[in-house]
Chains A and B, each alone.
Chain A
Amino acid sequence: MLKQYTYYILAFACLLLAGCDRIAEDERLIYEPIVMEDDQDDIPEEGKPEQTKRVVLLEDFTGQRCTNCPKATDVIEQLQEVCGSALVAVGIHGGPLAFAGNARTVGLKIDIGDEYYTHWNLEYQPVGLVNRHAPLSYSEWIDAVKEELAKPAPLRLKGTAVLEGNVIAISIDAQGTNGTVDGKLQVWLLEDGIKALQLMPDNKPADQEYIHNHVLRTAVNGTWGEDFSIKEGETVQRTMALDLEPKWNREQLSIVAFVYNDQGVQQAAKTKVEIIE
């Protein structure tokens, strides 16, 4: 009987040892950088239009009452440093932790923020959509952006925006580079550098002067954009105009344009609003 128990104990000890998996401090990191190709576009195949790199859209569903949202913003800043213009980040203030504001405190929540939050079946914040695929927590964004950057882009997109008087004139130029794309063209207005309240993580006090960047202010061409179709080699231009609202800081405005369909966002572009005095 004693012998039998000794075998059991030995087998148990072996299992315990087999299960040990301590990772030494100097082995916890794996070097795996985002490889950014040079800015030149790919050399096209014979008979094909000049190819272009994909610009990735990251929709960050955030809120001023969301304590972990500044952590997500940190990830965006890290990504922007490496990816530059290949990443377009948009802060969408919607969902239960967004703040509509009151007489004393500036709120950044917008109705379409709530609409997007509900439409995408989001359930927690911060959460993001990378090129409108499955919702991801911020710790998963870098991996998703890497994957998207590696994909070819089927079209080239370029926007210009000019503010003259109180009207922003917007022009979006698209060129089909690979196959046909059917979907929607969405144009948004963003604002940087908004000083407003933000709850902070790790039990830190709320920051009354937190700087909110790339905040979605409005959808220029409707909540879900307008129908859009482009064939390989074809060029399409869309123009639109937007009245400036007094609460927007004209110095800090940008336009984001992107084409999306059921397969996600196909291409995105961001341009600063140029002011003509």
Chain B
Amino acid sequence: MKRTLTYLLASLCVLGAEAWERKGVTFSGSIQSDMLVPRRDSGTGAEKTGSFLTNTYADLLIQSQYIDAGARLEFLSYPLPGFEKDFEGWGVPHFWMKGNIGKAELTVGTFYEQFGSGFILRTYEERALGIDNALLGGRVVVKPVKGVTLKALSGVQRRYWEWNEALISGADAEIGFDEFFPALQKNGTDITLGGSWVNKYEKSDEKVYLSPTYRLRLPKFVNAWDVRASFGRGPWNVMGEYAQKSDDPSFANGYIYRKGSAAMLSGSYSGKGLSVLLQAKRSENMSFKSTSDVSKAIGISSAINHLPAFTQDQTYALAAIYPYATQLADGEWAYQAEVGYNFKRKTPLGGRYGMNVKANLSYVRAIDRQFYDGDDLVQQTNGYTSKFFKWGDDTYYRSIDITLSRKLSKAFKLNLMYVNQRYNQSVVEGHGGIVHTNIFIADGKYQFSPKVTLRGELQYLRTKEDQGDWAYGLLELSLVPHWMITVSDMWNCGETKLHYYQGLVTYNVGQHRIQAGYGRTRAGLNCSGGVCRMVPAYTGWTLSYNFNF
């Protein structure tokens, strides 16, 4: 990995020198550095895991008419708490060059890509979770005629500071019919069809034994394909997608030889103050990793695909204590319904400034699985039979969220939220049982003057299970344009009686943002889009620096 730094700098210098001579070359980039000076905290059990920890990234992008190039330096030798040992390191894991020639675009180096909703391929970066599953190889994107996009790619996937051995190849085609039929465009109708294919080739040395006498023969190739269609007219939109994956016995699925599949149907309406979203998804056996090495495949690294969670990504602290993680290997039926309505200003319900009401219902349930051997998955078999529309016994997650946003005066805005959750801790975290919560949130913002705003949050989580009740309070003073001061406390008033207090001062100037603070962070799941990482408790001084140029 370190060698790539030299290669990269050399190629960037050459490119940069040439580029300077040309007109229209732009340089841009960013720096993000999150730092922690941890302290031992006997109250929370936080350990002093080092004297100074940091996750630091520096991106550089050079753009010109025909060629773009970029690189990222990452310094993660002493990372923030909660990441695997293999996450540690530093170097330039990203380096790429993209050429735009006529209707084609060619990328060489590392790149991110997503086919459709990501059911069979999604490579992306999510720094908070330590996810970066970029591919290293080549990609070509061709737009032969307007409305048609063809993609082909091949490469190996990043796992922290190494590249997994499996070769990932794929192709995707998408056709927008409204480009071909002017009549469709005329009446505002969009019809899009797409299809993708992904192949994993892994000549694995991994020996997996069913017993001390028999070893499993593992497939060298795993194929996945996906078809999708969307139809939109005016405020209405309907989208459907189906994906299938060939036999892929893995540690995650208990080494069964069974096809995986994912199906999704989504419909929405958005117009005249009303928005409605209805979604349903069924998936089974869709864990798709770029390594069969168990010690590397455990956790959230090496994922080739991504299945979105049909649950709310919660931003309020207490609503985020029990987040849901998509069950890729076991499968799930997931449903989501969301209705939003904007009551107009100067109406009886809207009042003087208007009001927005939003309700969201998420429900995730096990799929039907009839194991060949009673209650157990048996390796080397097809695992189980499953009726497509039938549910399994367990509810994995259920959430009802109701949000009300209203401006009460020219200076004061209030958000109220109620969340009711049923969280299957055994399924998501591997321990505990069912946790039922009722969460009440009030978030008010008062603008004293154009430059001074005070925001406050009060939250309460009521539950008889796990660690019992929680309370949370926050005050945030914004002094435009430079300063923001935040103090908060999350108090477990149920079982542990612990306070997780935090104080932060943020300073913005130009393209720089600096944030310094001190506080405690609780142990728990940190999730985004249904992918979660368990983070241990930590206490200490924090400093963050962001710079964009």
Contacts and interface: CB of A to CB of B under 8 A. Distances in A.
Bound pair: A and B? yes
Interface of A: 12, 15-16, 18-23, 25, 27-34, 65-68, 78-79, 81-83, 97, 121, 123-124, 134-137, 139-140, 142-143, 145-146, 199, 202-204
Contacts of B201: 19
B508 interface: no
Given A124-B299, A137-B295, A139-B208, A20 B223 contact: yes
B104 to A, nearest CB: 14
A49 to B, nearest CB: 30
B213 A202 contact: no
Which of B208, B220, B294 has the most chain A CB atoms inside 10 A of its CB?
B294
B199 A30 contact: no
A16 B394 contact: no
A33 B213 contact: yes
Contacts of A145: 212
Interface in B205-236: 206-217, 219-223
Contacts of A83: 212
Given A65-B431, A137-B251, 4 more contacts: A20-B246, A22-B219, A30-B215, A33-B212
B1 interface: no
Contacts of A32: 209, 213-215
- The range of chain B's interface size is 35 or more
Given A21-B246, A142-B209, A203-B427, A28 B217 contact: yes
Contacts of A27: 217
Nearest to B205: A143
A256 B382 CA distance: 41
30 contacts: A12-B171, A12-B197, A15-B199, A16-B199, A18-B221, A19-B201, A19-B221, A21-B220, A21-B221, A23-B217, A23-B219, A23-B257, A28-B257, A28-B380, A29-B210, A29-B214, A29-B217, A31-B214, A32-B214, A34-B213, A67-B426, A78-B212, A79-B212, A83-B212, A121-B85, A123-B85, A139-B208, A139-B251, A140-B208, A202-B375
B215 A29 contact: yes
Interface of B: 84-85, 169, 171, 197, 199, 201, 206-217, 219-223, 246-247, 251, 255, 257, 294-295, 298-299, 375-377, 380-382, 394, 426-427, 430-431
B251 A29 contact: no
Nearest to B294: A137
Contact of A28 (B212, B216, B394): B216
Nearest to B209: A142
Contacts, number: 112
A117 to B, nearest CB: 13
Nearest to B377: A202
A143 B380 CA distance: 17
B215 A137 contact: no
Q: Nearest 6 A-B pairs (CB), nearest first?
A: A142-B209, A21-B221, A137-B294, A21-B219, A82-B212, A143-B207
A206 to B, nearest CB: 9
B216 A29 contact: yes
Nearest to A34: B212
Which of A16, A21, A28, A34 has the most chain B CB atoms inside 10 A of its CB?
A28
Contacts of A137: 251, 294-295, 298
A19 B169 CA distance: 10
Contacts of B381: 25
Contacts of B212: 33-34, 78-79, 81-83, 142, 145-146
Contacts of A12: 171, 197
Nearest to B169: A15
Given A29-B210, A83-B212, A139-B255, A23 B298 contact: no
Given A67-B426, A123-B85, A202-B375, A19 B209 contact: no
Contacts of B257: 23, 25, 28
Contacts of A199: 430-431
Nearest to B197: A16
Contact of A22 (B247, B375, B426): B247
B116 to A, nearest CB: 17
Contacts of B430: 66-68, 199
B86 to A, nearest CB: 9
